[in-house]
Amino acid sequence: MKSEMQITVLGAGAWGTAVAAAAALRHPTLLWARDPQQADALAAQHENTRYLPGVALPPALRISADLAHALAHATRPQDLLIVATPMAGLRSMLTQLAQARVTAAVMWLSKGFEAGTGCLGHEVAREVAASLRTGVLSGPSFALEVARGQPTALVAASPDVTVRDAAVRALHAGHLRIYSSEDVVGVEVGGALKNVLAIATGIGDGLGLGLNARAALITRGLAEMSRLGGALGAQPETFMGLSGLGDLVLTATGDLSRNRRVGLKLAEGLPLPRILEALGHVAEGVYTARTALARAESAGIEVPLTRAVVDVLEGRLTPAAAVQALMQREARAEH
């Protein structure tokens, strides 16, 4: 039996489509696509041929390119709006939701630090949408596996228990398991930095450094994530959970990881613009790396792996030279 809850997902990329498909199995759900042509194709084919080819969407899932219509689908306090834009689009979308005086709970799937401001998602929300009840949904999750109905665990983080509860009511069933957290900072730092560290691991794998090196990169990457998160006010235990270690391991080692693929191609010597053009999807780590480094520097936190990724992305070091620089760092205690 479907509940009284209604859900709108704003953004019809791979992840937004996958979450909307999962929600539509239990609740009246509408997926908003910015492009009217994409919306028409989704409605006609009930398949996202660009981002999730071969995966049939639930017949009950509604599709629209009309934002006002999409917002009207989830207007009550018990409803849920899920923002599924890249980080670059989060500020604009939250601003529109605040202007529309949305009363439904709002969660975003965006991961990263905002370019220019260095803000995490909750900091963007605090600036432009303080009147909304908000939170973030994150964790180790490839959109394709979620869309296929494969088991996945996620974390819904918010200081507002009603937002956390809305995420659980919306998605905790079948192949999805939703855990709750009050630590928005930790969940968002984990979701942001793991993409950068996946590029580093992809570089290492692409250079043929071996499994020992991969384990070292993931472990020391987790240490960077924990240091930066702690400086920003996160709870240390968050980084041992799904949105920290879990998401890092998945993104650094999984063949479906776009950020890992960027690292592999950088190791081959391909130029970054060519890599991104061939990728055809957003690789958030590319855009997050510089901002994450700036945020760490302003907090007085050492993040050598993140710095090395930035140096490679910006062309100051070759992948091999970046690895050599890391290996030549001075010896120190692990903790």
| DSSP letters spanning 136-156 | EEESS--HHHHHTT--EEEEE
Q: Are residues 152 and 119 in the same domain?
A: yes
Contact 234, 186 (CB under 8 A): yes
Give the CA radius of gyration of the chain.
20
- The residue whose two tokens read 């009217």 is 36
194 is catalytic: yes
What is the structure's pLDDT at 335? 73
% of the chain with per-residue pLDDT over 90 = 96
DSSP strands (E only) in the chain: 7-10, 29-32, 62-64, 80-83, 105-108, 134-138, 152-157, 176-181
pLDDT given at position 13: 96
Instruction: Please give the average per-residue pLDDT across 280-295, as a whole number.
Output: 92
pLDDT at 294 over 50: yes
Is residue 313 scored above 70 in pLDDT?
Answer: yes
Residue 40 lies in a domain: yes
- Statement to judge: residues 207 and 175 lie in one domain: no
State the pLDDT confidence band at 280, using cuts at 50, 70 and 90: confident
Q: How far is CA 119 from CA 169, 298, 332, in A?
A: 29, 13, 31
Same structural domain for residues 14 and 162?
yes
189 labeled part of a ligand binding site: no
Could you say which of 163, 182, 201 is where a domain stops?
182
168 marked among binding-site residues: no
The pLDDT tens digits for 207-251 are 999 999 999 999 999 999 999 999 999 999 999 999 999 999 999
Q: Does the structure show a pLDDT above 90 at 18?
A: yes
User: Is the Cβ–Cβ distance between 64 and 30 less than 8 Å?
Assistant: yes
Q: Was 54 annotated as part of a binding site?
A: no
> Does residue 188 sit within a domain?
no
The candidate with the shortest Cα–Cα distance to 151, out of 246, 45, 14, 32, is 246
**What does the alpha-carbon distance between residue 335 and residue 333 come to, in Å, rounded to a whole number?**
6
In a domain, 227, yes or no: yes
Q: Is 13 annotated as a binding residue?
A: yes
pLDDT of residue 303: 97
Q: Select from 123, 147, 182 the last residue of a domain.
A: 182
* 273: amino acid identity, one letter: P
Q: Is 118 annotated as a binding residue?
A: no
Residue 330 DSSP symbol: P
Q: Is 174 annotated to bind ligand?
A: no
Residue 39 domain flag:
yes
State the CATH number of the domain containing residue 323: 1.10.1040.10
- Examine residue 226 and state whether it is found in any structural domain, yes or no: yes
> What CATH number is associated with residue 71?
3.40.50.720
Contacts of 127 (CB under 8 A, 6+ apart): 91, 119
- 198's CB contacts (< 8 A; 6+ apart) are 248, 251, 252, 257, 259, 260, 263, 285
Token code pair at residue 50: 């660009």
Domain boundary among 160, 182, 204: 182
Chain CA centroid to CA 220, Å: 21
Q: Which two tokens stand for residue 90?
A: 């989060």
Check whether residue 136 and residue 108 sit in a common domain: yes
- Do 174 and 210 fall into the same domain? no
**pLDDT score, position 281:** 79
Rounded Cα distance, 199 and 314, in Å: 13
Any binding-site annotation on 51? yes
Q: Do 222 and 153 share a domain, yes or no?
A: no
The pLDDT of residue 28 is above 90 = yes
| Cβ atoms within 10 Å, residue 51 | 20
**Percent of the residues in the chain that have a pLDDT greater than 70, as a whole number:** 99
* Same domain as 104, residue 34: yes
Same domain as 236, residue 143: no
286 shares a domain with 221: yes
Are 56 and 79 in a shared domain?
yes
254 is known to lie in a ligand binding site: no
Mean pLDDT of 70-87: 97
Residue range 144-154, pLDDT digits in tens: 999 999 999 99
Q: What is the pTM of this model?
A: 0.95
Structural domain includes residue 126: yes
Strands ordered across the beta sheet of 62-64: 62-64, 29-32, 7-10, 80-83, 105-108, 134-138, 152-157, 176-181
Residue 302 counted as an annotated binding residue: no
Active-site pick, 26, 73, 91, 194: 194
**Is 187 within a domain?**
no
Please tell me whether residues 96 and 55 are part of one structural domain: yes
Give the C-alpha separation, 23 to 27, whole Å.
6
Domain annotation covers residue 1: no
Q: What are phi and psi of 101, to 5 degrees?
A: 55, 50
Q: Is 34 annotated as a binding residue?
A: yes
pLDDT interval class at 1 (50, 70, 90): very low
Confidence at residue 2, expressed as pLDDT on a 0 to 100 scale? 44
The pLDDT value recorded for residue 231 is 97
Mean pLDDT of 262-266: 98
39-48: long-range contacts, CB 8 A cutoff, minimum separation 24:
39/12, 39/63, 39/64, 39/65, 40/65, 42/12, 42/17, 48/12, 48/14, 48/17
Expressed as residue numbers, the domain containing 287 is: 193-328
**Quick one: 83 and 221 in the same domain?**
no
Average per-residue pLDDT for the chain: 96
How many structural domains comprise the chain?
2
Average the pLDDT over 35-59 and give the result.
Answer: 96
